[in-house]
Structure 1
């Protein structure tokens, strides 16, 4: 099946950053935040650039796909620049929500509990891509 390799997460993060901040900096920070949880796999957009980080990620959809990962990625940025920290957190949250739409889900309270999913839509399916397209279009018209 055709894999988008992070472009869906990137588009959703940028769109969310645009809706919340309307600034290029907010869009970039949210887009980056949307890619960070997948550092836990060497096959992701960022993980392929920094493959050693996948070792500390503990496997795909481990701690980096949880509230712990959200804090690890966004809190240091927030301490340096609160607006950028909120944008990174927004991007991470869009990633988690999108991953919760497919059957694998995420373990939000890692290491406790189980993987949770919302709808069971397979990644890179037509429905998933349409959902992100609608989000991007909504973002484009929201700021008008």
Structure 2
């Protein structure tokens, strides 16, 4: 999957979350979460730059998603505590939980994109090397990559619209 496809998958998967945040009166958190997802959508592909690490190896696993999410949560907790901002919330949750979950979500969304390709990913590594694949499209399909991008943009716009409509209907400003 190319960058555009990964952006699209990330946005499509995040759309319901973003829409709920908007509907709950947290549009800034919704935009921040979407920005984090797009910014770090390609994080698992850091393996291209790591010597001795195969592509779609350890960085394309559920363990890596948990490691990234946990590390970001711990760093955000320490940073917020050191800055005296331990009680700062982003939307309905604290800053460390929001940051950690968005980073983990970014990795998981990348994995979903790669699951669509015949090569698949070894989700359960190191417990199992079995590769899971839905084999829907080759990774280099321009039509699928841009089609997924369009789907993600559309889903995000629809979720934002529905979230704003729900906010208006419930009487939030």
TM-score (norm 2): 0.65
Asked whether the equivalents of residues 9 and 112 of structure 2 are also in contact (C-alpha less than 8 Å), the reply is: no
Select the structure that is richer in helix.
2
Q: Which residue of 2 aligns with 1:61?
A: 56
Equivalences for 1:68-79 in 2 at 5 Å?
Answer: 68-79=63-74
User: Unpaired runs of 5+ in structure 2?
Assistant: 19-26, 77-95, 162-173
Q: Structure 1 37/15 Cα, relative in aligned 2: closer, same or farther at 3 Å? A: same
Asked whether the equivalents of residues 61 and 106 of structure 1 are also in contact (C-alpha less than 8 Å), the reply is: yes
Equivalences for 1:26-37 in 2 at 5 Å?
Answer: 26-37=33-44
Q: Distance in 1 between matches of 2:98 and 2:45?
A: 23
SS at match of 2:40: helix
Equivalences for 1:54-133 in 2 at 5 Å?
Answer: 54-55=50-51, 58-79=53-74, 80=76, 81-111=96-126, 112-125=128-141, 126-133=143-150
Q: Distance in 2 between matches of 1:10 and 1:142?
A: 16
Shift of 1:119: 2.9
Rg comparison, structure with higher value: 2
Relative contact order higher in (CA < 8 Å, ≥ 6 apart): 2
CA RMSD of aligned residues (A): 2.2
Equivalences for 1:37-48 in 2 at 5 Å?
Answer: 37-42=44-49
Q: Structure 1 7/131 Cα, relative in aligned 2: closer, same or farther at 3 Å? A: closer
Q: Structure 1 90/78 Cα, relative in aligned 2: closer, same or farther at 3 Å? A: same
Q: Which residue of 2 aligns with 1:49?
A: none
Asked whether the equivalents of residues 9 and 35 of structure 1 are also in contact (C-alpha less than 8 Å), the reply is: yes
Which of 120-129 and 101-110 deviates more? 120-129
User: Unpaired runs of 5+ in structure 1?
Assistant: 43-53
